[in-house]
Amino acid sequence: MARAAVLIAEGVVEAREVPIFEPEAGGLLLRVVLGGVCGTDLHMIHRLANEFPLPIILGHEGVGQIEKLGDRMDRDSAGEPVKVGDLVYWSPMVACNQCYTCTILESSPCTEAAHFAEADQPSWCSHADYAWLPRGMSFFKVPEGASIDAIMALGCALPTAVGSIDVAGAIKFGETVVVQGAGPVGLAATLVAHVSGAREIIVIDNNDMRLERAKQLGATATLSLDALSPDERKAAVMDVCGRTGPNMVVEAAGSLPAFPEGIFLGGHNGRYCVAGLWGAAGEIPTTPRELVLKNFTVRGSMAPRPKYYYHALHLAARMADKLPLAELITHRFGIGQAADAYRAVQSGEAVKVVIDPSIP
């Protein structure tokens, strides 16, 4: 038997014994090295935006070491040979490659994707000693010598930022960017803007500690959500970006009021990349006429495709010794203390929380 953090009812998480399964043909079994805790885990725990049947094992971000390979499994999803003992990073969704979205649109989210298995079934979830990756699940070998902490520091926020910015129209050299929110998705978007060559990167949040982290990852200016009114924030953005406003605004705040403000802050012919509102169900008034007056594009996205996990993995590995990525991990818990890990994320005092199964 192995241990796993299991969501048994709304708001109730328990460390439980779960079976270890042999890998299926074309799949593999991993020993989890680190599992990231993400805002989405909180949404799932509080049943805010989904109705998965319970109980389920939590965790969709992880790095694991290959324990066993299934039959006919010898390469990762980018064609790199893999063997027992290699470290890998996986994309937590199995696309069907048969639906209209997968095959005709070549996009996501797959309408037939397999998600969470019940806790006593084979599961790829990462808040556990072992993760069982089924046939067809994309995974990538961690580059030799790469920092696992750096790779897990932004968790699924990094593929989310890489993917959502790409589909919203990639940031070009010299562009100006506003990032709403300095949680993991906002920090990841800041990093992506920085390595893309953005001239100005303005990050907005109400948490000074997070804004400091944003500066370390490439933000050229930060604005306080509490200290400034929306009009003052707009004036500050125009000051930095010029009269026609920023080329791109990235929504990474995860709260509804960010949306009308993102349109308000957006520049002429600007793009609005809406990446963080997955869990923010509800309605909020907006001024659609602004979209017309500014030739403005709004693009939402979710479920980054596997290629974005590949690019995120290599970006984190490459930047690990240039930027303080690994230091974003502020809290570590064992599987037995998983409930404390989720509380630490909820409290807002953590930057990144990870579950480390080696902690007793």
Residue ranges that bind Zn ion, judged by CB under 5 A: 38, 40, 61, 95-96, 99, 102, 110, 112, 155-156
Q: Which is nearer to Zn ion, 101 or 286 (CB)?
A: 101
Q: Which is nearer to Zn ion, 215 or 332 (CB)?
A: 332
Concatenate the DSSP letters of all residues of 174-190 into one string. T-EEEEE--SHHHHHHH
Q: Which is nearer to Zn ion, 48 or 291 (CB)?
A: 48
Rg (CA), the chain: 20
> Three-state DSSP class for 111?
coil
Query: In angstroms, what is the minimal distance from the CB of 29 to Zn ion?
Result: 22
Q: Which is nearer to Zn ion, 110 or 323 (CB)?
A: 110
Q: Which is nearer to Zn ion, 99 or 291 (CB)?
A: 99
Query: In angstroms, what is the minimal distance from the CB of 140 to Zn ion?
Result: 16
Query: In angstroms, what is the minimal distance from the CB of 196 to Zn ion?
Result: 22
Residue whose beta carbon is closest to Zn ion: 38
> Three-state DSSP class for 314?
helix
Concatenate the DSSP letters of all residues of 33-99 into one string. EEEEE-HHHHHHHTTSS----SSEE---EEEEEEEEE-TT--B-TTS-B--TT-EEEE-S-B--S-S
183 Cβ contact list (under 8 Å, min separation 6): 39, 157, 205, 210, 252, 253, 254, 276
Check: CB of residue 274 under 8 Å from CB of residue 251: yes
**DSSP run (H or E) holding 8:** strand 2-9
Query: In angstroms, what is the minimal distance from the CB of 194 to Zn ion?
Result: 21
DSSP letter, residue 24: P
Query: In angstroms, what is the minimal distance from the CB of 160 to Zn ion?
Result: 8
Q: Which is nearer to Zn ion, 155 or 306 (CB)?
A: 155
Query: In angstroms, what is the minimal distance from the CB of 267 to Zn ion?
Result: 30
Q: Which class for 356: exposed (0-12), middle (13-18), buried (19 or more C-beta within 10 A)?
A: middle
